[in-house]
Amino acid sequence: MSDNAIAGLLGNIFQESGFIANNLENSKEGLLGSDAEYTAKVDDGSYKNFANDGAGYGIAQWTSPGRKQALLNYAKSKGVSIGDENMQIEFLLAELGIHNSASAFTGSQLSSYKGYDIDSWKNAKSPEEAAEAFCWLFEKPSDASSGMSSRKNKAKEVYERYSGKTRPSTSGGGSVSSGKYNFPHYLQENYSGSYGSATIASDGCGPTSLAMILSGLKGDSSITPASFVENLKQYYPDGRYHVSGVGSTGDIYNSSFLSKYYGVSTQMYPTESQALQALEQGYPVLGHENGHFLAVVPVSDELKAQGYKFYILDSYRGHDGAYKSVADANKVVDGQLTFRAIIRP
């Protein structure tokens, strides 16, 4: 897929949801509750009209009954929240005709419309052209005119920021001490082992981040990205922890898996305030930015005295450093810093 096509797709996703996986259509919040409230009610089964309520939801703002039901069925099959970002990305890719585990629940949703066909998107000469083509091929909004300029502008911004660029260089190594724990800094590029259909070096930000967290918590230097992946392979012989073309799934921080192999407790999908409280108490958190996991660890007393709240150990993109707030981190990370799991010994 060309850089123009990818940028056009992302420009549309930004317009639809701002890349927020639990995003409920804004106009429906007064009736159905906030993003978090709606998602929680769907997850626990207390709200049973998800498929038919006509409310856009998720990164692609799925709205039609059939597609929302398929999304819900897929989330249930994986045992994850309807707001799980990785699950939604897999589902979106299946709707784009890119085969993965979600393809058993949905198929391609691309169809010619208003003079645009798949080639109009994939072979677009600019990110703006790709954004308009993708909008009509996939989103098919009742009125795209009000948001088309935003779709195009974001596509251009994505293209200019990422096309032809490589990740920042970082040497890794060393460690970060919080006083009680000492967290090593691993780089996934230093591990050549297989990971699903890819390698740890290419797709292993999740295992590498969790290996940093677990090695520090347990005081065990034998816990590395490679050993973590071997445990994943044993626990998930069907390979569900990784999706080709997407990366790690939420199964890598499943509480049952981490408890069995590492004896830790896991609080999945904490709120920002819960994550920050855990970090204040000295416990690490698995973080996430757009398409990438991060190890977010407590800071030393010395750094606390200077107003810092947490330290990011990045296995790939070079976003390492101490931060005084999530807002400060958001100036550096791709998209927004979110939290996937609090890990406690």
Q: pLDDT digits over 269-321, tens only?
A: 999 999 999 999 999 999 999 999 999 999 988 788 888 899 999 999 888 88
Cα gap 247→24, rounded to integer Å: 25
Rounded to whole angstroms, the Cα distance separating 212 from 175 reads 9
158 and 179 assigned to the same domain: no
Residue 303 lies inside a defined structural domain of this protein: yes
Instruction: Report the percentage of the chain scoring pLDDT > 70.
Output: 95
For tokens 């502008």, the residue is 153
Pair 135, 272 in one domain: no
Bridge partners of 198, per DSSP, are 195
Q: What's CA 267's distance to the chain center, in Å?
A: 17
| 26 and 146 co-located in one domain | yes
- Residues 191, 339, single domain; the answer is yes
Last residue of a domain, one of 162, 196, 215: 162
> What per-residue confidence (pLDDT) applies to 170?
39
* Residue 226 placed within a domain: yes
CATH number for the domain spanning 26: value is 1.10.530.10
- CB 129, CB 137: distance < 8 Å: no
Give domain status of residue 167, yes or no: no
Higher per-residue pLDDT: 168 or 237: 237
Question: Can you read off the two tokens belonging to residue 279?
Answer: 């970090």
**CATH number of residue 180's parent domain:** 3.90.70
> Is residue 168 in some structural domain?
no
The length of the chain is: 345
* Domain co-membership, 217 together with 340: yes
Q: How far apart are the first and last CA of the chain?
A: 43
Any bridge partners for residue 343, and if so which? 266
Residue where a domain terminates, one of 129, 162, 195: 162
Assess whether 157 and 197 both reside in one domain: no
35, 20 Cβ separation under 8 angstroms: yes
Does any domain span residue 307?
yes
Q: Which residues pair with 323 in a beta bridge?
A: 310
Verify that 246 and 337 share a domain, yes or no.
yes
The confidence band for 103, taking pLDDT boundaries of 50, 70 and 90, is very high
Residue 336: both structure tokens together: 């927004």
- Are 31 and 135 contained in the same domain? yes
In a domain, 192, yes or no: yes
Encoded tokens for 247: 């990366």
Average pLDDT of the residues in 193-219: 95
pLDDT digits over 111-121, tens only? 988 889 999 99
More confident residue, 308 or 105: 105
Is 169 inside a domain boundary?
Answer: no
Residue 266, helix vs strand vs coil: strand
| Domain total in the chain | 2
Q: Do 123 and 179 have their domain in common? A: no
- What pLDDT is recorded for position 145? 64
Q: What is the dihedral of CA 336, 254, 213, 230, to 10 degrees?
A: -120
In this structure, is residue 170 part of a structural domain?
A: no
d(CA 124, CA 130): 5
State percent of the chain over pLDDT 90.
Answer: 72
Please state, in angstroms and rounded to a whole number, the distance separating the CA atoms of residues 278 and 89.
28
CB 275 within 8 A of CB 342: yes
Q: Which of 258, 183, 186 is nearest to 215 (CA)?
A: 183
207 lies in the same domain as 77: no
| pLDDT greater than 70 at residue 37 | yes
pLDDT of 173 reads: 60
Highest mean pLDDT among 56-60, 80-84, 243-247, 332-336: 56-60
Residues 200 and 109 in one domain: no
Of 115, 134, 162, which residue sits at a domain end? 162
> Which pLDDT score is estimated for 292?
95
The residue segments making up the domain with residue 71 are: 3-162
Q: Are residues 116 and 24 in the same domain?
A: yes
